[in-house]
Amino acid sequence: MKISAITVAIMATILPAMADKHGYCACWDKPNNKLMLPATGQCCTSKGGVLTYFTSTKTTGNMEGYFCAHPTNGGDWWSACCEGQGWDWSKCFG
């Protein structure tokens, strides 16, 4: 099967749009199952988002605390930012 230049151009446009995007993300201390507000705040400021408090629900992954609200939050970006703050995990939803 021959792949045309048009197909490649279309895929190059579509794939980034399909990236892992979330409305809300936070840095997470997975071993202790806690959201890390200072690290989340630093990443949120860097992203230009707004800290938003959520109570524990199924939607939040049963986590209570502050998440950063931003329409272009991405799991990969948040993981890297949280790692830069000393935490190996991030929690995102929405």
Q: Where do the domains of the chain lie?
A: 20-93
pLDDT at 43 over 60: yes
- Does the predicted TM-score (pTM) go above 0.75? no
In this structure, of 1-5, 9-13, 47-51, the range with the lowest mean pLDDT score is: 9-13
* CATH no. of 20-93: 3.30.70
Spatial CB neighbours of 45, under 8 Å, sequence gap ≥ 6: none
Spatial CB neighbours of 46, under 8 Å, sequence gap ≥ 6: 81
